[in-house]
A and B are shown apart, each in its own frame.
Chain A
Amino acid sequence: MQKAEASRKIEARKRGNRPGFWFFRTSVRLFGLRGTYGFLYIVCLYYALCDRSAISAALSYVDRRFPGSGFLRRRLDVYRLFVSQGKQLIDRYAAISALAIFDIRIKGYEQFMALVQDSRQGLILLTAHVGNWQIAMTTLKDIGKTVYLLMRPEDNPAVQDSLHISREQVHIKIISPEQHLGGVVEIMNVLREGHVVSIMGDRSYGFNAIEVSFLGEKAWFPHSAFSIAAAAGCPVVVLLSVKVSAHRYVVDVSNVLYPRYEGRRDKREQLQQWVQKFVAMLERYINQYPYQCFLFHNVWREESKSATG
């Protein structure tokens, strides 16, 4: 476990490190968004050819999304994924630093705002490593509630620096899943105060996962968002964002689930149904936007049942 943890931290340092961010930051200032995308094609070529761990992480998804592909096609798909992710990272930085303006349309905004304002129990925002969930978060700064991100603050300090996410920031705060009991006491408290808690629905972060069907195979996804929502009596709003053109994003928050345990039926069975609904939404998204799925974590591996990250 400690070895895996150390390895995860080393990998996080290797990719998306501070010099890398500095390079792209400077490039955006000097050459603009499209000019910086140009560098990206070269940098991603290196990763797609030489970074074994990154390739292996991406292939677990590529092989399920594009089954039966040959060696070259698989590598090309990995490359396209890396370029797509790189563009979205650059967009994120450019948006937050006001170096570029993006048209971000929110699908289901009115319903979402009604839930935020009506909900006395707060709500859970369930998202995944698809599209640009962080850019979507920037649109939530004016909702009048604090958004708490359940994430490891130590995961990648450079990414956080670039996003200007800090514990002190007023509208977006972090709850660490590494604190006692995975931070659930804090989560329940902020939900009770009517705030929003954002949870990645495709990463366990130490919480238990449940078996579902994903891209035609058995996979394990965490049920924490639904267990917490069922206990707290709050809704789960699914947030999926997609880059539809160079300067345009669509953030979809129109799918809302209301998990409530029915009678004495097996809770695990009920949780499984809710997680499967979420996974089905992800599948529809992935079928439409295959190169905006950055699920570089093997959710099909049985060890993901109790994955740490």
Chain B
Amino acid sequence: MEDQKEKRLADIREKLKGLLVENLSLEDVTPDEIKDDEILFGDGLGLDSLDAVEIVVLLQRNFGLEVKDMEKGREIFYSIDTLARYVYENTKNKS
């Protein structure tokens, strides 16, 4: 059970990294170079608020998810890992 969860989380992380590289203006960055716990905004990967717009749309288009709770937004958008966990928690009953 736990293995399945970890595998699913790893798959989501990989997918998210690919989507970020494909859709955001990340110059000369490959999906493999993004660390799971790297901070996405500000220091770290250096994304800005307008990249957040793209991530909101990516979550909606690829996972059917809407981030409604603004307070939770800060922790959800912290890193690839937190994003992946949010996707996992909110899609596990769908798959």
Contacts and interface: CB of A to CB of B under 8 A. Distances in A.
B66 A192 contact: yes
Contact of A224 (B50, B66, B67, B73): B50
B57 A232 contact: yes
Given A181-B77, A189-B68, A208 B48 contact: yes
A244 interface: no
A184 B50 contact: yes
Interface of A: 179-182, 184-189, 192, 206-208, 223-224, 227-228, 231-232, 267-268
B70 interface: yes
Interface of B: 25, 41, 48-50, 52-54, 56-57, 66-68, 70, 73-74, 77
Contacts, number: 52
A268 B56 contact: no
A182 B68 CA distance: 15
Contacts of A186: 70
Nearest to B71: A180
B36 to A, nearest CB: 20
Given A180-B70, A185-B56, A231-B56, 12 more contacts: A180-B73, A180-B77, A181-B52, A181-B77, A182-B49, A182-B52, A184-B49, A184-B56, A187-B53, A188-B53, A223-B50, A231-B53
Contact of A185 (B25, B48, B52, B54): B52
A43 B41 CA distance: 46
Contacts of A185: 52, 56, 67, 70, 73
